[in-house]
Amino acid sequence: MSENNRKGVLLVVSGFSGAGKGTVMKRLLEKYDSYALSISMTTRAPRQGEENGREYFFVDMETFEQKIKEKKVIEYARYCDNYYGTPREYVEEQLGKGKDVILEIELQGALQVKELFPDSVLLFIMPPSAAELYHRLVSRGTETEEVIRKRMRRAVEEAQDIEKYDYIVINDDLDTCVMHLHEIVESVHEEARRNRETIDRIRKELQELLKGE
- Restricting to residues 1-60, which ones interact with ligand 5GP according to CB under 6 A? 17, 40, 44
Taking each continuous run of H as one helix and of E as one strand, the counts in the chain are 8, 9
CB of 193 to ligand 5GP, least distance (A): 27
Q: Give backbone dihedrals phi and psi of 97, rounded to 5 degrees, phi first.
A: -85, 0
Pick from 85, 100, 125, 181: which binds ligand 5GP (CB under 6 A)? Answer: 85
Terminal Cα-to-Cα distance of the chain (whole angstroms): 31
Among the residue ranges 25-33, 57-65, 84-92, 128-136, the one whose residues contact ligand 5GP (CB under 6 A): 84-92
Minimum gap (Å) between residue 159 Cβ and ligand 5GP: 13
What distance in Å separates the CA atoms of residue 37 and residue 77, rounded to the nearest whole number? 18
8 A C-beta contact, residue 74 and residue 113: yes
Q: How far, in Å, are 48, 65, 66, 69, 135 from residue 43 at the CA level?
A: 15, 10, 13, 16, 26
> Which stretch, 58-66, 77-85, 126-134, 184-192, contacts ligand 5GP (CB under 6 A)?
77-85
**Interface pick for ligand 5GP out of 26, 29, 57, 77 (rule CB under 6 A):** 77
| Interface segment toward ligand 5GP; rule CB under 6 A; list 61-69, 78-86, 163-171, 181-189 | 78-86
